[in-house]
């Protein structure tokens, strides 16, 4: 039930945002995060954004898994 | 291509990680995946079969539907009998059997039971249907609790007086310690819940690593995430080390989501709560604070549930503690199936029995 999926913010109106998740647009609450911006990737759970996706860390993790093993993770 | 999903489903990377796991694995290793979402991902992707015999992946107590006590189900069923009350719930709760009824039976008999995707849907019902009172079944761990707390704050702001919740929320740290201290569980390492950790941060696992000597790896939900986490935990075991690892840094930081934590504790306070199959665990639940008591359905309605009686043959409790598997249950697949579930682990789509039934043992 703690499932959460990444989506991209495409518009913001007050404390609500429209987020694109795999081609579907969904209205979600922004009450749980600060300073969101259009174009950012966020995790959506039960109608709310619960966290922003950290792009740098995402790249770092996949890089380790792909090329260097997990020694320094 | 879906960003942040497809690259973590890359078959080539999965196969490479799998080879690495097999290369280094020589010792028996019992890893508990705490989250029901991880259980589903592991079974769906056949990860248990792929990693081989030394490594046993054991499901933990991280399915909120599964750990909802039968007394709480009976309470909800009783509340559905009140005039002009509509019960709103996440879908899986519909079919969890209480002592003599369930929400699906109430609905079939004409009761007003509505399945929602979010508590925001319930606020919308309350705004547009003033003649009814809407009770939301607030279940879930730290991931879901801030959404429910935010909705209560919003309802308070709007002065909505036809909305309340039954707060059955639970929190992870004390429950994990209870499971790990159970002598039958024998867990070496945890795959920790990624989205609970997105809210709480990783610091809460420090005491598990330091005091209980159990390695913790926070993981995402895709096959690359899970295989990477299993590799890392195997490596620690082979080196006789314990450590706390964050393998889901794209969503989880050490301190977590501070704003969401503040919202949780604006509305809720810690309380003791009953976990199905485990029993009452101190400070493992969230109760609505006095300040928001008008949104607490249990204070608002004089609920008188029937006397709860748990089925004695069902071993969901042992399964939730990692002490047994569905294979040990006399009811599994014979009497207890997804269309005729006897226990909560078969009802919930994230339950261990449901995952074993759907994807094989």
Based on the fold, state whether residues B159 and B299 are members of the same structural domain.
yes
Of residues B43, B38, B100, B66, the one with CA closest to residue B315: B66
Domain boundaries, chain A: 5-68
Q: Give B34 or A67, the one with higher predicted confidence.
A: B34
Based on the fold, state whether residues B273 and B327 are members of the same structural domain.
no
Q: Give the single-character DSSP code of B90.
A: -
- Lowest mean pLDDT segment, chosen from B207-211, B286-290, B317-321: B317-321
What is the pLDDT at residue A64?
65
CA A23 from chain center: how many Å? 14
Q: What is the mean pLDDT of residues B138-165?
A: 97
**Fold observed for domain A5-68:** SH3 type barrels. (2.30.30)
CB contact set of B4 (below 8 Å; sequence gap of 6+): A6, A41, A53, A58, B250
Q: What is the mean pLDDT of residues B19-26?
A: 94
pLDDT > 60? residue A68: no
Give tens-digit pLDDT for A40-64.
999 999 999 999 998 777 766 666 6
B296 — phi, psi (to 5°)? -95, 105
Interface test with A, best of B118, B139, B217 (most A CBs within 10 A): B118
* % of chain B surpassing 90 pLDDT: 79
pLDDT > 90? residue B299: yes
Based on the fold, state whether residues B188 and B332 are members of the same structural domain.
no
Based on the fold, state whether residues B44 and B116 are members of the same structural domain.
yes
Based on the fold, state whether residues B320 and B308 are members of the same structural domain.
no
pLDDT > 60? residue B349: yes
Determine the residue of chain A that is closest to B65 in CA distance.
A1
Asked if B42 contacts B48 with a C-beta cutoff of 8 angstroms, the reply is: yes
Based on the fold, state whether residues B184 and B322 are members of the same structural domain.
no
**Number of structural domains in chain B:** 2
Using pLDDT thresholds of 50, 70 and 90, give the confidence band for residue B340.
confident
pLDDT > 90? residue B162: yes
What is the pLDDT at residue B207?
94
| Residue A11 near chain B (CB below 8 Å) | no
Q: Looking at the partner chain, which of A43, A45, A55 has a beta carbon nearest the beta carbon of B147?
A: A45
| Residue A47 near chain B (CB below 8 Å) | yes
| Residue A10 near chain B (CB below 8 Å) | no
| CA geometry: angle B234, B236, B238, nearest 5 deg | 70
b/e code B153-176 from CB counts within 10 Å (16+ = b): ebbeeeebebbbbbbbbbbbbbbb
pLDDT > 70? residue B190: yes
Of residues A38, A2, A5, A13, the one with CA closest to residue B200: A2
Using pLDDT thresholds of 50, 70 and 90, give the confidence band for residue B35.
very high
pLDDT > 60? residue A70: no
The answer to whether the CB atoms of A2 and B195 lie below 8 A apart is yes
Is this complex's ipTM strictly greater than 0.85? yes
| CA geometry: angle B27, B317, B311, nearest 5 deg | 145
B chain contacts of residue A51, beta-carbon cutoff 8 Å: 198-199, 251-252, 257
The alpha carbons of chain A give a radius of gyration, in whole angstroms, of 14
pLDDT > 60? residue B36: yes
Based on the fold, state whether residues B271 and B336 are members of the same structural domain.
no
CA B228 from chain center: how many Å? 22
Based on the fold, state whether residues B305 and B342 are members of the same structural domain.
no
Of residues A1, A50, A3, A52, the one with CA closest to residue B221: A3
CATH number, position B201: 3.40.50.11740
Chains A & B: contacts with CB separation below 8 Å: 144
Quote the crossing angle between the two packed helices B11-24 and B223-238, to the nearest 10°: 10
Please state, in angstroms and as integers, the Cα–Cα distance from residue B204 to each residue in A54, B71, B143, B255, following that order.
21, 29, 14, 9
How many Å from the N-terminal Cα to the C-terminal Cα in chain B?
Answer: 31
Domain interval for residue B239: 1-312
Encoded tokens for B173 = 């740290």
Of residues B85, B138, B131, B91, the one with CA closest to residue B112: B85
In B75-140, the DSSP E strands lie at 85-89, 113-115, 133-138
Interface test with B, best of A17, A65, A69, A72 (most B CBs within 10 A): A65
Please state, in angstroms and as integers, the Cα–Cα distance from residue B271 to each residue in B23, B138, B302, B326, following that order.
46, 15, 21, 31
pLDDT > 90? residue B317: no
Based on the fold, state whether residues B332 and B200 are members of the same structural domain.
no
With tokens 């979010």, the residue in question is B118
The answer to whether the CB atoms of B7 and A48 lie below 8 A apart is no
- Lowest mean pLDDT segment, chosen from B53-67, B220-234, B295-309: B53-67
* Verdict on whether the full-model pTM lies above 0.95: no
pLDDT > 70? residue B337: yes
pLDDT > 90? residue B18: yes
Based on the fold, state whether residues B133 and B236 are members of the same structural domain.
yes
Asked if B90 contacts B53 with a C-beta cutoff of 8 angstroms, the reply is: no
pLDDT > 90? residue B95: no
Based on the fold, state whether residues B149 and B169 are members of the same structural domain.
yes
């Amino acid at each position: 039930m703690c499932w959460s999926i990444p989506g991209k913010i495409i518009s913001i109106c007050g404390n609500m945002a429209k987020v694109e998740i795999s081609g579907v647009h969904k209205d979600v609450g922004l009450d749980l995060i600060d300073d969101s911006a259009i174009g950012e990737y966020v995790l959506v759970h039960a109608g709310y954004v619960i966290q922003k996706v950290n792009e740098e860390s995402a790249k770092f993790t996949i890089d380790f898994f792909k090329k260097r093993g997990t020694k320094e993770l | 291509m879906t960003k942040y999903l497809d690259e973590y489903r890359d078959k080539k990377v999965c196969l490479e990680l799998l080879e690495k796991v097999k290369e280094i694995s020589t010792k028996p290793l019992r890893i508990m995946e705490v989250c029901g979402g991880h259980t589903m991902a592991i079974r769906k992707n056949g990860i248990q079969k792929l990693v081989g015999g030394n490594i046993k992946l054991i499901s933990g107590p991280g399915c909120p539907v599964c750990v909802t006590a039968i007394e709480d189900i009976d309470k909800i069923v009783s509340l559905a009998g009140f005039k002009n009350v509509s019960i709103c719930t996440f879908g899986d709760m519909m079919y969890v059997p209480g002592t003599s009824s369930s929400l699906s039976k109430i609905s079939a008999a004409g009761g007003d039971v509505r399945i929602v995707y979010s508590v925001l849907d319930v606020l919308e019902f309350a705004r547009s249907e003033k003649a009814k009172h809407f009770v939301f079944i607030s279940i879930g761990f730290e991931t879901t609790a801030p959404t429910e707390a935010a909705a209560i704050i919003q309802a308070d702001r709007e002065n909505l007086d036809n909305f309340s919740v039954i707060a059955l929320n639970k929190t992870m740290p004390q429950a994990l310690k209870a499971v790990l201290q159970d002598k039958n569980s024998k867990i070496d390492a945890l795959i920790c819940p990624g989205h609970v950790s997105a809210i709480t941060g990783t610091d809460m696992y420090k005491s598990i690593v330091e005091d209980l000597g159990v390695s913790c790896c926070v993981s995402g939900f895709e096959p690359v995430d899970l295989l990477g986490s299993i590799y890392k935990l195997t490596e620690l075991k082979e080196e006789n080390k314990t450590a706390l690892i964050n393998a889901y840094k794209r969503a989880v930081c050490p301190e977590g989501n501070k704003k969401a934590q503040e919202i949780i504790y604006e509305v809720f306070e810690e309380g003791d709560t009953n976990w199905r199959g485990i029993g009452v665990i101190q400070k493992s639940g969230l109760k609505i604070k006095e300040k928001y008591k008008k949104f607490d359905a249990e204070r608002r309605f004089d609920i008188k549930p029937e006397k709860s009686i748990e089925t004695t043959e069902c071993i969901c409790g042992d399964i939730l503690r990692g002490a047994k598997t569905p294979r040990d249950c006399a009811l599994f697949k014979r009497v207890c199936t997804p269309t005729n579930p006897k226990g909560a682990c078969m009802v919930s789509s994230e339950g261990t029995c449901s995952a074993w039934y759907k994807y094989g043992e």
